[in-house]
Amino acid sequence: MQLSDRITGLFLAGLGLAAAWGGSRLPAVPGQDVGPAAFPMVIGGGLVLCGVMIAFGIGHSFEVPDEDAETGFRFRDLRVLVPPGLLLFYVLAVERLGFMLTAFFIVGTAAVALGARPRLALPLAVGAPIFIHAVFAKLLRVPLADGILPALW
Amino acid sequence: MTDFSRRAVLAGGAALLATPGLAQPRWPARPVQLLCPWAAGGGTDAVLRMIGILLEKELGQPFNVVNRTGGSGVVGHAAISQAQPDGYTLGMITAEICMLHWQGLTEITYRNYTPLSLVNNDAPGVTVNSNSPYRDVKALADAIKASRPGQLKASGTGQGGIWHLALAGWLNAMGLKADHVRWVPSNGAAPAMQDLAAGGLDFTTCSIPEARAMLDANRARALAVMAPARVTAFPAIPTLKEAMGVDYNTGAWRGIAGPPGLPAAVVQTMEVALDKVFKSKEYQDFLLARGFGAVYENAAGFATHLAAADISLGNSMKEAGLAKS
Amino acid sequence: MQDLFEGVRLVLAWDVLIAVLASAIYGLVVGSLPGLSATMATALLVPVTFYLSPIAAIATIITASAMAIFSGDIPGCLLRIPGTPASAAYTDEAYAMTRKGQAELALGAGLWFSAIGGIVGTISLVLMAPLLAEMALSFSTYEYFWLAFLGLMCATLVARSSPIKAIASMLLGLLFACIGMENPAGTPRFVFGITDLLGGIEPIPALVGVFAVSEVMRAMVTPEPPKLPDRKFGSILAGQWALTKKYQWPMWRGNIVGIIIGVLPGAGADMAAWVSYAMSKKWSKEPEKFGTGHVEGLVEAGASNNASLASGWVPALLFGIPGDTITAIAIGVLYMKGLNPGPTLFTERASSMYALYIIFVLANIIMIPLGILMIRLASKILKAPRSAVMPVIILLCAVGSYATGANLFSVLLVGVFGIVGYVMERNGYPVAALVLGIVMGSMVEQNFVTSLIKSDGSPLPFVERPVSAVLASLTLGALLWSAVVWVFNRARRLKATAAAR
């Protein structure tokens, strides 16, 4: 996801414009002179300014070049979306499957995606959820969903 | 070992026989979650945590307090109302539930709950900086009447919060417009009290327990309390009626409630348990120590209270121009 | 003197000592889990305190919060996952040291200077509480506005990137802070009809997302770095004395800045670390080394962090005004136990006050051996393969962010912020500045808007009051100075390139 400064700068400027526009449409508050619109408009304006400056490459000279910068897109780079995808899976599945199964799947998938052999991934996927359940549900009393496979204690 | 397991089976069988109808385990069979719509460290959090401990003692299962905060209480109140009605998610609802829907901030009203009991009510005070020229509430009221609109500034909570309404109601009772004194929205009572002590405000209308430490430190002076009678923990502070003959009172009340359609067994068990909890020495000592007002209603009483409060708070909000038409 | 001995006797009771030890271990464990804050550690202790004697109850809160704040630095240093918004200021620096193989030096410095900061902060509490309280009470919203503004300016100093991108990141953070209805007007903004967004964006899910999740995302596409050579580290503390002597002046500056900022309710520890880290870079003899794994900033920010934690108790104990959620919980416990905050606490209950002071010092002292133990254990993580550590982290991110409010929406937010953080990092936008914006957003807006309301729209009180005048000139001076330096450097560089041609 290495983008040029021109793209990110213009994106920020656009976001700033949208924020300022959205802010200006907020209703005023009865009995007050300064309403909820002021702050988003100031920030939006600032973002537009910064975005345009970035797009024109001002201040670029301060940056330290990224060591592992690589160009071009490879299919395997899509793996970068695995962690947020697993979090989304947690949100969707935990109530139905329960904490244990969901966590087993998350740890197992992440480990395999990072190149772990089954000899490491499997015990990890079994052990880590049990340990984390013990800490959070028992010590910290966080209500973790039971689902179809409740914890044994 | 065999003896033990046989006894367990027998006991289990007996329990099964004793349970009428469906083989539902007795409530609560596992930990109960108590949702608090306000942040840890605040008054609602403190009251609910105390009740959680006492309920655990009473009913033998942990009652865990979880702070689901934000949006002036909207987020937490919505979560309580939309929880599974199995009795394992209950929570504390506060006066704001009868205000938020008038402001158009949520669709949820008091009707979207099963009320269980009212456990506390804090009355607003009128507090000034200790260097303030106003010695009593009458002097302050005269100054307010003599001031041009918006000249004097008061605070205590956010825009449209319960203490803002208290100010509006008091001004109305004096025959003034609700925005005659400019409201400075603050992020809760503590920053407002800090700003009062720093000389940035003319007075605050937050509750007396919230102002208490500043009063004890002689940085602030409480002129009156907007309650029908003096508060037990602060006998020296006169009511509005005593001090200036204006009969106006309101309060920030708190009660326990669950989502609509709670099983009758849960409601009965909770009603009995909450009654015991409220009357317990621990709870009463706690209220006195923190200066919180002890007010109690059972489930039916709380339901009546909610209906009445919804109308009266709605009326004040309309008068103050805070309700969405 | 009588009171002091009585205080010592109160602390030496066996129940108090056990409470201190148990809550210390508890605080260390909870603080080191990503997504769990020191606030949550303290809130969970409240039910326990009901069964304890007054001194033991307060001791658990003091000890657990101090430990949790320190151990929040551990995952930040080892895995680049800061435990608190405060430690986000120097997470990149500490992580850079870890990659240079100096993890134990970085953590040791965090531990040692945290303990010193805590003790110096306590001494200020003992000697100057009334004076500091007087200062805190002279801060109205005008002063807070300038203070928050100064804090935001630190964004440009901590980053090793273009200052414009840093400001853009910070503004983006401020924009995130606009979401929800926690604004002075109480009006929902940018919520797009989602109830969960009404509550706004909490700093913790954002912090966990932009640091931890984006780090796991990076691990997915980068080859595993070569194992660090298995060097035997000597004593963790051995090098610290030399550091203390070398960086004596930054350490004291950190302590003093921490005490001053900590005493102001609402500003607290989050800001102290940022301001101190920025000051350290500004006045360092070797500012170019900052960001590459240089210990100097850690010394100053670590000391400042914990000093502010101790001085934050001043307004809480004297006026019942909480500096942050931790002291808010502590105030509740004080009332419960009959130790009502107020000046009388210092006069009529002097022995209890001495007991509290002694517990502060004690907590900071036992932090050193327990912290060393914790560091030794935690550093083992660096020896484990990445494919074993990262999956557990992603699970911890989910459970930790869920734990605070039992809300699945926060888990979703963590994922979204992971993507935001990853994209920002790849394009040279510092994520720490984003976190600063989110943390400070409501403070800036709240104080700006309420100040304008109080002054009926006039800007005069912003510069009229004595303290606000000083802060305003400081802020504007720093702003102008940076601009002048920038223009000057640019002109010189242009001239140099012109000459080269």
| Better pLDDT: A36 or C176 | C176
Q: Are residues A82 and A110 in the same domain?
A: yes
Q: How does the average pLDDT of chain C come out, rounded?
A: 84
Note the pLDDT of residue C234: 60
Question: Among A16, A31, A62, where does a domain finish?
Answer: A62
Of A18-22, C30-34, C267-271, C450-454, give the lowest mean pLDDT range. Answer: C267-271
Tokens at residue C10, please? 């109160």
Q: Are residues A56 and A92 in the same domain?
A: no
**Average pLDDT estimate for C334-352:** 80
- Other chains touching B, judged by 3 or more CB pairs under 8 Å: A, C
| Better pLDDT: A75 or A138 | A138
Q: Are residues A82 and A135 in the same domain?
A: yes
pLDDT at position C468 over 70:
yes
Note the pLDDT of residue C482: 72
Q: Are residues A90 and A133 in the same domain?
A: yes
Q: Are residues A43 and A96 in the same domain?
A: no
Q: Are residues A83 and A46 in the same domain?
A: no
A115 touches chain B (CB under 8 A): no
> Strands B89-94 and B252-258, how do they pair?
antiparallel
Q: Are residues A92 and A132 in the same domain?
A: yes
- Other chains touching A, judged by 3 or more CB pairs under 8 Å: B, C
**Count of CB pairs separated by less than 8 Å, A with C:** 221
pLDDT band of A20, cuts 50, 70, 90: very high
Domain count, chain A: 2
Q: What percent of chain C has pLDDT over 90?
A: 18
Domain presence at residue A71: no
Q: Are residues A90 and A132 in the same domain?
A: yes
Give the tens place of pLDDT for each residue, C276-306. 988 888 888 888 888 888 888 889 998 998 8
**Average pLDDT estimate for B16-27:** 51
Note the pLDDT of residue B238: 94
Domain presence at residue A135: yes
Domain presence at residue A128: yes
**Average pLDDT estimate for C444-472:** 85
> To the nearest whole angstrom, how far is the Cα of C47 from the nearest Cα of chain B?
7
pLDDT band of A11, cuts 50, 70, 90: very high
pLDDT at position C161 over 80:
no
Tokens at residue C266, please? 């609402």
Note the pLDDT of residue B23: 43
Pair B250, B226: CB distance under 8 Å: yes
pLDDT at position C428 over 80:
yes
Q: What are phi and psi of C251, to 5 degrees?
A: -60, -45
**Average pLDDT estimate for B216-229:** 91
Closest among C76, C117, C66 to C96, alpha carbons compared: C76
pLDDT band of C171, cuts 50, 70, 90: very high
Give the tens place of pLDDT for each residue, B68-94. 877 778 888 988 998 889 899 999 999
pLDDT at position C224 over 80:
no
Taking an 8 Å cut-off on Cβ atoms, the answer to whether C188 and B105 are in contact is yes
Note the pLDDT of residue C72: 83
Note the pLDDT of residue B6: 41
In one-letter notation, the amino acid at residue C198 is L
Domain presence at residue A114: yes
Note the pLDDT of residue C152: 86
| B240-256 as b/e: b if 16+ CB within 10 A | bbebbebebbbbbbbbb
Note the pLDDT of residue A14: 93
> To the nearest whole angstrom, how far is the Cα of B300 from the nearest Cα of chain A?
30
Note the pLDDT of residue B253: 94
| B34-66 as b/e: b if 16+ CB within 10 A | bbbbbbbbbbbbbbbbbbbbbbbebbeebbbbb
Distance CA B299, CA C415 (A): 42
A30 touches chain B (CB under 8 A): yes
Give the tens place of pLDDT for each residue, C230-247. 555 566 777 788 888 888
User: Which residue matches tokens 């039971």?
Assistant: A146
Give the tens place of pLDDT for each residue, B193-208. 888 988 889 999 999 9
> To the nearest whole angstrom, how far is the Cα of A86 from the nearest Cα of chain B?
24
Note the CATH number of domain B31-120+252-319: 3.40.190.150
- Other chains touching C, judged by 3 or more CB pairs under 8 Å: A, B
Domain presence at residue A150: no
Q: What are phi and psi of B127, to 5 degrees?
A: -125, 135
Burial class (CB in 10 A: 0-12, 13-18, 19+), C339: buried
CA C471 vs CA A21, B194, C167, C269, C425: distances in Å? 32, 19, 21, 19, 33
**Average pLDDT estimate for C182-194:** 81
Same fold flag, B31-120+252-319 and B125-244: yes
Interface test with B, best of A26, A33, A141 (most B CBs within 10 A): A141
pLDDT at position B15 over 50:
no
> To the nearest whole angstrom, how far is the Cα of C187 from the nearest Cα of chain A?
7
| Better pLDDT: C58 or C1 | C58
Q: Is B15 helix (H, G, I), strand (E, B) or coil?
A: helix
Note the pLDDT of residue A73: 59
pLDDT at position B18 over 70:
no
**Average pLDDT estimate for C463-482:** 83
CATH for the B125-244 domain, from 3.40.50.261, 3.40.50.1370, 3.30.300.30, 3.40.190.10: 3.40.190.10
pLDDT band of B11, cuts 50, 70, 90: very low
Note the pLDDT of residue A65: 55
Note the pLDDT of residue A71: 53
DSSP string, C83-135: SSTGGGGTHHHHHHHHHTT-HHHHHHHHHHHHHHHHHHHHHHHHHHHHHHHHH
Pair C162, C428: CB distance under 8 Å: yes
pLDDT band of A31, cuts 50, 70, 90: low
pLDDT at position C412 over 90:
yes
Looking at chain C, which residue has its C-alpha nearest residue A140? C44
Q: Are residues A22 and A54 in the same domain?
A: yes
CA B75 vs CA A109, B70, B100, B118, C195: distances in Å? 33, 6, 11, 21, 6
Domain boundaries, position A42: 5-62
Domain positions in chain B = 31-120+252-319, 125-244
**Least CB–CB distance from B159: residue in C50, C185, C188:** C185
Note the pLDDT of residue B19: 39
Pair C277, C159: CB distance under 8 Å: no
A141 touches chain B (CB under 8 A): yes
Domain presence at residue A34: yes
pLDDT band of B158, cuts 50, 70, 90: confident
Chain B residue numbers touching A30 (CB-CB < 8 A): 179, 321-322
pLDDT at position B275 over 90:
yes
| Better pLDDT: A60 or B287 | B287
**Least CB–CB distance from A143: residue in B31, B182, B183:** B31
The contacts of residue C138 (CB under 8 Å, 6+ apart) are: B198, C467
pLDDT band of B121, cuts 50, 70, 90: very high
pLDDT at position C37 over 80:
no
Note the pLDDT of residue B60: 87
